[in-house]
Amino acid sequence: MIKNANILVVDDEEVVRLSYARSLASEHCKVEMVSNGQDALQVMGQRPFDVVLLDLLMPGMNGMTVLSTIKRRWPESEVIIITGYPALETAKEAVSLGAYDYLAKPAGPDDVINAAHGAMNHKRWTLRSDPASSCAAMH
């Protein structure tokens, strides 16, 4: 369930932003949209977002730079890369930088909703897990 989740859509194409927002509105999410990475970082500095849907190729700051900055400054935010130019190299890089998922455009409404659901479940699981009970804490 992603009801009341705060989701940020970052894409330089308005039609894409509106499509994702429409899909997520049916899930009763709070969706905000920006058209570039600089605006994304600025708005994230003002309020937290649970999930960020992030395009890779945008004017100005590219998606990988935005992803890296988000995961460094707001590690509790889950990031889903959605790109029109999918490639194994960028998928590997995105995951290594902390992306939760990587989707190819065109991503249909079900793809966007399912990815957002998965990201929210992952976030809840991560926040609920107790670091003291992990194996790493015992070493």
Which residue ranges of the chain lie beneath pLDDT 50? 130-139
Position 127 scores a pLDDT of: 66
Assess if residue 18 is contained within a domain. Answer: yes
Beta bridge partners of 51: 7, 78
Position 128 scores a pLDDT of: 66
Residue 54 belongs to what domain range? 6-138
Assess if residue 1 is contained within a domain. Answer: no
Assess if residue 108 is contained within a domain. Answer: yes
> What CATH number does residue 94 fall under?
3.40.50.2300
Assess if residue 81 is contained within a domain. Answer: yes
Position 3 scores a pLDDT of: 74
Assess if residue 19 is contained within a domain. Answer: yes
Assess if residue 126 is contained within a domain. Answer: yes
Position 129 scores a pLDDT of: 57
Position 23 scores a pLDDT of: 92
Position 137 scores a pLDDT of: 37
CB atoms within 10 A of CB 137: 9
**The total number of structural domains that make up the chain:** 1
